[in-house]
Structure 1
């Protein structure tokens, strides 16, 4: 029997020290099924117009495909894979008339009413799964420096400060098909926290710092804190920032069915 739970969530976005915003983030409750949620972060690349067009296409495709998703009969992993593939195709078509070739990362997770979770990513936007203040799993970046880490040539700390840390080897809109790196959590439980974010956020925190913040603060408080602290640590050179936080809590009443309780979206601007 599936355990009942409630979801408390928040999103945040800030243009950082850039002249324009290329990140996009959404957190969508299913239009017909209570307890089903889709979270997506997209970090656009390719100049002012190109990068924003790419991340906008990811958001549009995600909304359209999620709207037709039937949690009781459809496969969540298939939905996320289709979001990646369809977004990639649309971005490639956009590139035909774009002044600068558009690309985007994607980090997307789907929570089903029965409590299982699927996620998928391409590029260096990340998803973290924390449980009771400790990291259980995170995505591995599709980047040049992550490949060096995987080969044992760099540590995680060295990779974070590497001069080529922003070079991707897989994303949406590139000439080659994007990687579709998937993960499945069979059952979420109270104490679990999901964080999806662009590199403008995670670049400035260790996993232990993220775990501590998310464990001790509400999603909205954590969103505010992480954006503010990343801005401070960037010292005037920060990238766009976007994140979505979902915390799993026990229901206030034992017989209460699974529900999605979204806090208001939090947005900072200069």
Structure 2
């Protein structure tokens, strides 16, 4: 695989940044993740962190060197993250469970599959055009889909911030999974939080990537969004990949995964904290030996990735 990648997060006008983003890859699989901790609930940043770590751990274990059942992996991993957040609440005796929105994408064999809960978005773009994007799990998007609200009201409707789906809520999340998308050289995959897409229209996002590398487009978009929103700006976060870069836009930041040793995983997602147990498994909990092994493998992968990963300002 070959791709260019860039990720950045701006705190905006908030006191803390509750957004998290990162990516992990083997020789044959690439995982992209972005979470937006929900500020209306306690410790949203912890929900986002736990979700990232849990899913990255599962990818580390199952991408050997690619994930055999990608759709099943995304659903199981999201549900495992949900369980880990509830475990964190129980261990710390919190009055409520932290919550986060999430969007993730798995790319392997030139095919992308993504999943999301909430209103963190993924855009699939080609030549300045949006081929697909996730639909927010919000009251407003439901009304638009039912024809009860005009799409032009997205920026002003009173229900625009009301979500009915996330990770960490009392009920199990609804994990919406996309169809498989065949990628072409030059295609863009953009994962972003609502601090970006709620300020800049879709067509602006697409236009900024046309003719630009992800390393130029992402910082430009984030600065524009925070600048327009002003002192009340939300956290704004974006993670973008240009698949196999086109010859016209090829640069020295391109990552070629054939340089990875067989069995290695590179990642920008921080290792789990000691007090966050990585118990998630497909059908049951990991034992202590498996937890420690997974944590050590992730720490080793982070060290190996330091020479080839792009800037991470998170």
Give the TM-score of the pair, scaled to structure 2.
0.76
Match of 2:126 in 1: 131
Determine whether 1:259 maps to 2:256: yes
Relative to structure 1, the CA distance from residue 153 to residue 250 in structure 2 (aligned partners, 3 Å threshold; closer, same or farther) is: same
Match of 1:39 in 2: 32
Relative to structure 1, the CA distance from residue 251 to residue 161 in structure 2 (aligned partners, 3 Å threshold; closer, same or farther) is: closer
Cα distance in structure 2, aligned partners of 1:175 and 1:193: 35
Determine whether 1:101 maps to 2:97: yes
Q: How does 1:18-33 map to 2 (within 5 A)?
A: 18-30=14-26
User: Which of 24, 44, 52 is the matching residue for 1:51?
Assistant: 44
Deviations 1:87-144 (A, max 9, x none): 11111222332254311111000111x2111110000000010111101111011011
Match of 2:294 in 1: none
Two-structure CA RMSD over aligned residues (Å): 2.1
Determine whether 1:74 maps to 2:79: no
Relative to structure 1, the CA distance from residue 228 to residue 263 in structure 2 (aligned partners, 3 Å threshold; closer, same or farther) is: farther
Gap regions ≥5 residues in structure 1: 253-257
User: Which of 175, 178, 187 is the matching residue for 1:180?
Assistant: 175
Q: Tell me if the contact between 2:3 and 2:244 (Cα under 8 Å) persists in the aligned partners.
A: yes
User: Which of 138, 143, 150 is the matching residue for 2:145?
Assistant: 150
Matched residue SS, 1:168: coil
Relative to structure 1, the CA distance from residue 242 to residue 99 in structure 2 (aligned partners, 3 Å threshold; closer, same or farther) is: farther
Displacement of 1:242 in angstroms is: 1.4
Determine whether 1:12 maps to 2:8: yes
Match of 1:88 in 2: 82
Q: Tell me if the contact between 2:41 and 2:98 (Cα under 8 Å) persists in the aligned partners.
A: no
Cα distance in structure 2, aligned partners of 1:186 and 1:17: 36
